[in-house]
Amino acid sequence: MNPQMKRLLLVWGVLTLTACSGSMGVPRPYVPAIDGWIPEEVTIKPVGLGVPGGAALAPGVTFAGGIEIVAPVGSPLHSLSDLKLTGDGGFVTVSDAGDLVRGALRLDAQGRLTGIDGARARRLTLTDGAPIQDKLEGDAEGLALLDDGELLVSFERDHRIWNYGPLAALRDPVPVARPDFPFPENDGMEGLTAAPHGWRVNGESGGVWGCTPGGCTVVTAPPTPLLRDSDYRITGMDRDPAAGPEGGWFVVQRSYAPPIDARARVRRMAADGTLGPVLVELKLPGTTDNFEGIAAETRTGPHGERTRIYILSDDNFSAAQRTLMLAFDVTPSGR
């Protein structure tokens, strides 16, 4: 057995205990900062797609670089659950321990992802302004930046969506509409993103909803029975920047079956909730992990306009898992 396969077996053996139960890390003590954000130490390692045969890319899709984000024990850059882009070369992500993290994407001269800069974090707060302190309060899974700049966060266990105001001027959260559905405790609103006139929500075990300040309507009803861990379940969603007025989205799906079979897919979702062909598939023996975040933007380069997609993995506070960010470019023909 080669060294890489031994490592993969170790990783996914640990996932047997962690992937299905959710991360149980404890938030670090709250440390105030003058501007609310605290600089964070990170080390970056380059990552490829791994052993040939592990990754499958559809025609029109190309790999555009990958990194592993290595952070000290106790850092909020662990167990990151979603990812969105800020439109200025930056990103924002949220952890399922209740931390918000910002930074800037570092690209090389060819536009390939090579790192992140200026990582900083702050604790999310409760509606009374007190910092989140425990897992029940802080299990954040979804993140959305609305067209008006408002930042929404979805939580599971205590299922809710809160509006924290503009990213540049965060405030105490205000509850907003969320689907009227009895989500399982650890299978909540994993997919959250902007939509025409509001936001779109996806349940990890199934179901898609369109929401406005006035309430949520069913786009795709949750299946009976609900999706299992071994099914491909949507764990992240972002708006397709090239979509028309009816909207379109990119989603990342995760499948896990013990002891070591973990996979991820990227697909496009239509306005009616229909999923398109698989654009990216990641599986052993190539690079794969617990991917839960996705973000998309339009890029113009020497070969014309294309959509850049980033996906982010949740390391579950486990030394055997990694925080990975991978980039892919999708040309119009890849849609």
Alpha helices in the chain (DSSP H): 3-18, 135-138
Question: What local confidence, expressed as pLDDT, does residue 333 receive?
Answer: 67
Average pLDDT on 26-41 reads: 68
| pLDDT above 80: residue 74 | yes
Written as six digits, the tokens of 241 are 């920047």
> pLDDT averaged over the chain?
89
Quote the CA–CA distance of 17 and 320 in Å, as a whole number: 11
Beta strand pairing status for 113-123 and 38-39? antiparallel
State residue 4's pLDDT score: 39
Kind of pairing between the strands at 61-70 and 43-46: antiparallel
Peptide bond into 184 cis (omega under 30): no
Q: What gap in Å lies between CA 37 and CA 211, rounded to an integer?
A: 30
Alpha-carbon separation of residue 148 from 46, 130, 163, 178, 198 (angstroms): 35, 26, 12, 19, 10
Identity of residue 13: G
Residue 300 binned pLDDT confidence (cut-offs 50, 70, 90): confident
Rounded to two decimals, the pTM is 0.90
Range of weakest confidence among 88-92, 199-203, 260-264 = 260-264
Structurally, at CATH architecture level, domain 3-334 sits in 6 Propeller (2.120)
pLDDT at residue 106 greater than cutoff 80:
yes
Burial of residue 33, with CB atoms counted within 10 A of its CB: 0-12 exposed, 13-18 middle, 19 or more buried: exposed
Is a pLDDT exceeding 90 seen at residue 20?
no
The band of 19, judged by pLDDT with boundaries at 50, 70 and 90, is: very low
Summarize pLDDT for 92-101 with one digit per residue, the tens.
Answer: 999 999 999 9
Contact 200, 249 (CB under 8 A): yes
> Tell me, what DSSP letter sits at residue 125?
B
Q: What is the pLDDT of residue 35?
A: 72
* Whole-number Cα distances in Å, 120 to 40, 75, 92, 102, 258: 5, 10, 10, 5, 35
Q: Is there a contact between 245 and 271 (Cβ–Cβ < 8 Å)?
A: no
Positive or negative, the CA dihedral 61, 6, 71, 47 is: negative
The reported pLDDT for the residue numbered 291 is: 96
Tell me the backbone φ, ψ of residue 10, rounded to 5 degrees: -65, -45
pLDDT for the residue numbered 319: 85
* Residue-wise DSSP of 273-287: S-EEEEEEEE-TTBS
**CA–CA dist 210, 148 (Å, integer):** 17
Determine how β-strand 174-175 pairs with β-strand 208-212.
unpaired
**Vertex 263: Cα angle to 243 and 205 (nearest 5):** 70
The SS3 assignment for 190 reads strand
Q: Could you tell me which residues come within 8 angstroms of residue 151 by beta carbon, excluding any fewer than 6 positions away? A: 92, 143, 144, 145, 163, 164, 165, 166, 167, 170
Q: Residue 164 pLDDT more than 70?
A: yes
Check residue 261 and give its pLDDT.
84
Ordered by start, the domain boundaries in the chain are 3-334
